Amino acid sequence: MASIGLVAAVVWQVGGFSTDPNPPATPTQTTVTDEPTTGPSDPTEQPTETPTNSESETPTGDATDGSEPSTPPETETETPPMAWSPDQLPVCGEPFALPDADLALTVETGPDGPVAPGGVFQSAVENPTATAVSGSAASPFAVVVNDGVVVATQTNFVLQGGEGTPILALSSGGESQLPVVIPPGCDGGELSPGRYETFVLVALGSANTDGSVMMGAGGPWALDIADDGSDGQDWSRTLPVGGVPFPDVCGDSWDLGEPSTGMELELVHDVRSPRSASDDIEGDVRITTTKAMTDVVLYTHILILQDGVQVSAPVPANDNVMRVFMSPSASLTARIYSGLTGCDGALLPAGEYEAAVLLLGSDGTTPQVVARSELMPLVIE
């Protein structure tokens, strides 16, 4: 999988890092939004769209023309944001300390052992509030100080929302591990080996309709920049245990087992039937987990069957990838989309079909089904 690198931008708000996810069909990033997408697009290796930082409380979806939407999950109540003023942000060559403020998130841990210059360490971020939070732009970064003075930090702060940015979902009291990148030194080069201290700041674009920013911070912790040539701490993406391999072969019988990953997928809206083959399926799903999900690449797919045989086109190359960090009992909303095309790329003929929404995970090899809906009747007129 791709490495993790810092992203710089031009807004003063707190910033983040970005990676290039690499699932098998080369989708690149999902945008969690309440507006329909325009359909699959060509695969890219670099960010192509900017997700919004909010999710709708009443997302639009596929239930129209008289069909009834399923009952959506209870909407999370708003968590009061805490935004820092510019004079509280770290500045190279100046002293830095955490502000005396009640932040929405807390950072509980710092480095655990030596870290290579420009390397990555894990930091636990907790939601101490009474309500669940989620957002599409969690952006942790380190502020490195020596004798209390900033010697390494980001110089341009933005709540990064491009592809590869983590999506963080925390239940009340929930915690998730996030990767934190050591920034370049204030002189533009890598930090010299030695002993420093580091703070960790995190910004989360909230799921609240006002698009507010939630802030979190912790530290200082001891930071040892490795001087032995080692890579220091490692970070790698994972797949949920209990997924079911998905070969995605047109014309095959569908004999898919039941995933046991602890993840569940619930349709926010019913898939309307009957419908025309030219009427794309669009909507939202709610994803929940009973287990911690740390840096998991996920994307949705709609599978169409006829007489138990897969007749829909394979997973298209698109921009519907999520890089998620979730605590147990957390949930988030994702978008689903499918054109009603067959194995040959043409519109499916009129007839009776079945459809299932799949949540796929990838580590760059064969995708796995980590959650799925039940089969639903689908009539194409």
Of residues 235 and 1, the one with the higher pLDDT is: 235
Cα distance between residue 167 and residue 176, in whole Å: 11
Environment class of 242 (CB within 10 Å of its CB; exposed 0-12, middle 13-18, buried 19+): middle
pLDDT of amino acid 303: 93
pLDDT of amino acid 46: 35
pLDDT digits (tens, 9 = 90+) for 229-287: 666 667 777 888 999 988 788 888 888 788 999 999 999 988 999 999 999 999 999 99
Other Cβ atoms within 10 Å of 122 Cβ, number: 18
Cα distance between residue 250 and residue 11, in whole Å: 47
**What's the whole-number mean pLDDT along residues 40-69?**
38
The β-bridge relationship of strands 141-146 and 194-205 is: antiparallel
Other Cβ atoms within 10 Å of 292 Cβ, number: 18
pLDDT digits (tens, 9 = 90+) for 360-373: 998 777 789 999 99
pLDDT digits (tens, 9 = 90+) for 16-26: 333 333 343 33
**What's the whole-number mean pLDDT along residues 48-54?**
35
pLDDT digits (tens, 9 = 90+) for 77-122: 444 444 555 567 789 999 999 877 778 889 999 999 899 888 899 9
Encoding tokens for residue 97?
């300390």
Cα distance between residue 217 and residue 199, in whole Å: 7
Name the residue among 197, 179, 88, 195 with its Cα closest to residue 141: 179
Query: Is residue 9 over pLDDT 90?
Result: no
Q: Name, of 26-35, 154-163, 198-207, the range with top average pLDDT.
A: 198-207
Cα distance between residue 26 and residue 129, in whole Å: 37
pLDDT of amino acid 357: 95
Does the reported pTM lie above 0.95? no
Encoding tokens for residue 173?
């009291």
Check residue 262 and give left, alpha or beta (phi > 0: left; psi -120 to 50: alpha): left
